[in-house]
Structure 1
Amino acid sequence: MPKDVCVLGDSVILGVVYDEARSRYSILRDGAVTSLTRGLGMRVHNLARMGQTSVEARERFAEAIKGGLKADALLIELGGNDCDLNWAEVGADPDSDHSPRIPVPVFKEAIADIAHMADANGMAPVFFTLPPLAPLKFFDWVTKDGIPKDNVMRFLGDLSRIYRWQELYSLSMMKLASEIGAPLIDIRERFLVQKNYEDRICLDGIHPNAGGHALMKKAISDFFGSRPGRLGSLAPA
């Protein structure tokens, strides 16, 4: 089991939650990363940032390596910001095509670069799937400040498109992990087997709440608990 791990991700792995009582975001004290530090006794180098995309994460990780970063494993949790759209533009022009912040091919390339960079520097890359989005919550959230709901719905066609679009990035993580031989922590499955998984997602429809982080912590603990030895290198290209 690794003793030093680096976490490269976004607000999901950071433990950012929406506090409805205070109407603002805060960081959960007992978030998923605590399963590494308190539960498994690992030292964590946290390179996760709120709003971070795969392209930004690649740059941050490269700089950290240049600065002397050393770890046994790199946990990669990205995609939620990459798949996001400019919803104000969608609402203003629903009949045009709108591109995500980071298109899927660029996303996959950035994740592959990160994984190979980690492997070349003695860190075993470990991929995460994305927690599922709650479509209605997310739709209400992105349109709450005056973006026309009818226009956004015209662009989408149906609410499930929001879910499918975000799922595409999660599936890309799974496919890439299989292609390069990287282990995968499937946190998405932990949510989807719940009777009402949306109860474990915040009001914004995208961030796991405390109940969601409990699922993530269990997935992380189970993963490392089943691998007491050193994680292996990637498959040869």
Structure 2
Amino acid sequence: MFHVFGDSITKSVALEEDGNLRTVSDNFIFRATKAAGLPLNNRSLFGATLAKGRQLLKRFASDLSPGDTVLIAYGGNDCNLPWDLISENPELPAMAKMPLADFTLQLNEVIDELREKGLKPVLMNLLPLQPNRFFKVISKGLKADILLNWLGDLGAIYRWQEGYSLAIMETAARKSVPLFDARSVFLSHPHYEKLLCSDGMHMNDEGQSLLTEAFTEFLKKID
């Protein structure tokens, strides 16, 4: 059995042109596991953090059997900052939903806990953001000028999120855990922004197709 615990990326949420969110059922994980003949149990949840993922792992512990593979794919929400508070009080310290050091520590703990149960952990890093589009989303209804001044430049959004992705990669290497490098798959595209929805963070159908190919090959390597 192939289990997935992640956020809206592995749940495969996409933003429609009318601004509504939809869940892509025929997504890259579904296609790749089907091609590999792997039974799939996707427990991904929109907006989930690693802390929420740990709760779900406990809640659905009975689903997991020794020898099963478990993909852990969090970080995109963990790194999110309190933009509304920053907009009103930019001089005060701002903390991510889960600070990077805590995120890294907990990720290591999850890996150890899975291995203790005879499970095979797999990690996935973060898709790259398109900072201009992402900023429009997070600044909507807020004081965009204050947020931009606090950031220094829009590239700071990209670099901040990238820090969490690097932590995932470093953890995978240190713990000898297979890593699906989704970020490099997107960045290998000459215009990766074309693979993302208008919100600059969720993938569109073209992005789904590209990840399907890459994830299918990845599953062959870890089988």
TM range, smaller chain:
over 0.9
Residues 30 and 40 in structure 2, CA contact (< 8 A), matched pair in contact too: no
Residues 10 and 49 in structure 1, CA contact (< 8 A), matched pair in contact too: yes
Corresponding residue for residue 209 of structure 2: 214
Residues 82 and 100 in structure 1, CA contact (< 8 A), matched pair in contact too: yes
Q: Could you report, residue by residue, the CA deviation over 1:8-57 in whole angstroms, capped at 9, with x for unpaired residues?
A: 1000000100011x321001132122124422221112221111100111
4+ residue segments displaced more than 3 Å: none
1:10 to 7, 32, 36: 7
Residues 7 and 46 in structure 1, CA contact (< 8 A), matched pair in contact too: yes
Corresponding residue for residue 84 of structure 1: 80
Residues 18 and 204 in structure 1, CA contact (< 8 A), matched pair in contact too: yes
Corresponding residue for residue 35 of structure 1: 31
Three-state SS of the structure 2 residue aligned to 1:226 is helix
Corresponding residue for residue 135 of structure 2: 139
1:62 to 49, 58, 70: 58
Corresponding residue for residue 102 of structure 1: 98
Q: Tell me, in whole angstroms, the C-alpha distance in 2 between the residues paired with 1:169 and 1:118.
A: 21
1:19 aligns with 2:16: yes
Residues 35 and 220 in structure 1, CA contact (< 8 A), matched pair in contact too: no
Three-state SS of the structure 1 residue aligned to 2:142 is coil
Q: Tell me, in whole angstroms, the C-alpha distance in 2 between the residues paired with 1:98 and 1:227.
A: 39
Percent of pairs with identical residues: 32
1:183 aligns with 2:147: no
Counting only pairs closer than 5 Å after superposition, residues 93-172 of structure 1 correspond to structure 2 as 93-144=89-140, 146-172=141-167
Unaligned residue ranges in structure 2 (runs of 5+) = none
Question: Scaled by the length of structure 2, what TM-score is found?
Answer: 0.95
1:174 to 166, 169, 173: 169
Letter in 1 for 2:16: D
Q: Tell me, in whole angstroms, the C-alpha distance in 2 between the residues paired with 1:221 and 1:137.
A: 29
Residues 6 and 44 in structure 2, CA contact (< 8 A), matched pair in contact too: yes
Q: Could you report, residue by residue, the CA deviation over 1:162-210 in whole angstroms, capped at 9, with x for unpaired residues?
A: 0000000000000001111111110000111111101111111111111
1:197 aligns with 2:192: yes
Residues 32 and 213 in structure 2, CA contact (< 8 A), matched pair in contact too: no
The number of equivalent residue pairs is 222
Residues 36 and 44 in structure 1, CA contact (< 8 A), matched pair in contact too: no
Residues 12 and 24 in structure 2, CA contact (< 8 A), matched pair in contact too: yes
Residues 58 and 113 in structure 1, CA contact (< 8 A), matched pair in contact too: no
Letter in 2 for 1:135: P
Q: Tell me, in whole angstroms, the C-alpha distance in 2 between the residues paired with 1:125 and 1:37.
A: 16
Question: Scaled by the length of structure 1, what TM-score is found?
Answer: 0.89
